[in-house]
């Protein structure tokens, strides 16, 4: 069974506009991503197409239809899992293209969401109501939340690139086990240990980052996470507080940054101690590396 990380990834499946394809809010949000790249998103568009082909070739998707994508989410709703993981993950391939301007993405999405007429006539409003962060504790499994989302989205919705990308991300998150990505509540005994030494990350309603009450940018956030984990090693613990008015995209970006910085340290440690890449470690060696640089997050 997967943890709150998976539930929050599923929450990112935001909704659709009911009328013309040209004015759907998801298309406008995707444009925000494209224009944030120096090449107007050409490399990203190519990557999305190639990754979709990979999923079809590896028989994870039956084909490129929205119905095939809907089938994946339906399976999660029924079984909390998928039958097969892709040979490579989308985020790994995404690192190989030029970086986007994250601040520009945020500003653009904010502008899109301020269009109240677009919002009120969209499924986005319905999904916000059922996936409000304040109600997250009522969803005990990804299966329950997926069923709620499937009440809103249809196979036509999954014809959109916006939702296809979210399935790409979901496939990766399903591969992250509860044990590896230690997510605890403040009532867990494990969470109480070392809490005074924790690195505290906060996302406000304006999607700004704060580390130990100090406002930081993406670059500084990465540095602080890396330095903290490097110093505290097995005693590391990160608290993450998110205002319910903030965007799920921002939340997911912060989660990805945390994972990425810890993976850097694990990679370095594996090379130093075993002279191996992470993927070449034995089960025991992998366990040792994860214990040395754990991923413990309190929400």
**What count of Cα atoms within 13 Å lies in the side-chain half-sphere of residue 257?**
21
Where is 295: in which H helix or E strand? strand 295-298
Strand arrangement of the beta sheet that strand 199-203 belongs to? 181-184, 295-298, 238-242, 199-203, 209-211, 214-216
Question: Token pair of 20, please?
Answer: 């013309």
Where is 183: in which H helix or E strand? strand 181-184
**Average pLDDT of the segment spanning 232-252:** 78
Query: Is pLDDT above 60 for 137?
Result: no
Domain ranges for the chain, please list them.
4-173, 181-298
Query: Is pLDDT above 90 for 271?
Result: yes
Query: Is pLDDT above 80 for 156?
Result: yes
**Angle of CA points 2, 106, 145, to nearest 5°:** 25
Cα–Cα distances in Å, from 101 out to 36, 45, 98, 111, 290? 5, 16, 10, 16, 31
Question: Token pair of 69, please?
Answer: 């994508």
pTM exceeds cut of 0.85: no
Query: Is pLDDT above 70 for 228?
Result: yes
**Average pLDDT of the segment spanning 67-85:** 84
Instruction: Give me the helices (H) in the chain, please.
Output: 4-11, 25-35, 42-57, 66-79, 90-94, 102-113, 116-120, 124-130, 142-150, 161-173, 189-192, 218-232, 248-274, 283-292
pLDDT for the residue numbered 15: 34
Using 50, 70 and 90 to split pLDDT, how confident is the model at 16? very low
pLDDT for the residue numbered 173: 62
SS3 133: helix
Decide: 248 and 241 in contact? Cβ < 8 Å.
no
Reference 122, options 91, 157, 90, 94; nearest CA is 157
Q: Which are the contacts of 73, defined by CB distance < 8 A and separation ≥ 6?
A: 13, 146, 149, 150, 153, 158, 167, 170
């Amino acid at each position: 069974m997967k943890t709150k990380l998976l539930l929050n990834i599923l929450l990112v499946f935001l909704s659709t506009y009911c009328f013309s394809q040209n004015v759907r809010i998801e298309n406008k949000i995707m444009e925000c991503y494209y224009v944030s790249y120096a090449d107007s998103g050409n490399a990203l568009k190519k990557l999305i197409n190639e990754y979709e082909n990979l999923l079809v070739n590896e028989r994870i998707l039956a084909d490129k239809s929205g119905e095939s994508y809907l089938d994946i989410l339906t399976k999660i709703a029924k079984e909390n899992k998928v039958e097969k993981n892709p040979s490579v993950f989308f985020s790994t391939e995404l690192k190989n293209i030029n970086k986007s301007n994250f601040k520009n993405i945020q500003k653009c999405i904010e502008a899109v969401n301020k269009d109240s007429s677009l919002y009120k006539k969209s499924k986005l409003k319905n999904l916000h109501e059922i996936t409000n962060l304040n109600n997250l504790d009522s969803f005990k499994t990804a299966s329950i939340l997926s069923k709620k989302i499937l009440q809103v989205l249809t196979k036509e919705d999954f014809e959109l690139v916006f939702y296809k990308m979210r399935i790409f991300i979901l496939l990766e998150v399903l591969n992250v086990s509860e044990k590896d990505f230690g997510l605890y509540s403040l009532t867990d005994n494990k969470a109480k240990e070392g809490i005074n030494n924790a690195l505290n990350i906060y996302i406000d309603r304006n999607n700004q980052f704060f580390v130990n009450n100090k406002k930081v940018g993406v670059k500084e956030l990465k540095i602080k996470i890396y330095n903290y984990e490097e110093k505290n090693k097995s005693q590391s613990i990160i608290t993450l507080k998110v205002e319910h008015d903030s965007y799920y995209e921002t939340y997911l970006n912060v989660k990805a940054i945390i994972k990425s910085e810890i993976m850097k340290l694990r990679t370095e440690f594996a090379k130093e101690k075993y002279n191996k890449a992470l993927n070449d470690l034995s089960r025991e060696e992998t366990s040792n590396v994860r214990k040395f640089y754990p991923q413990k997050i309190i929400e």
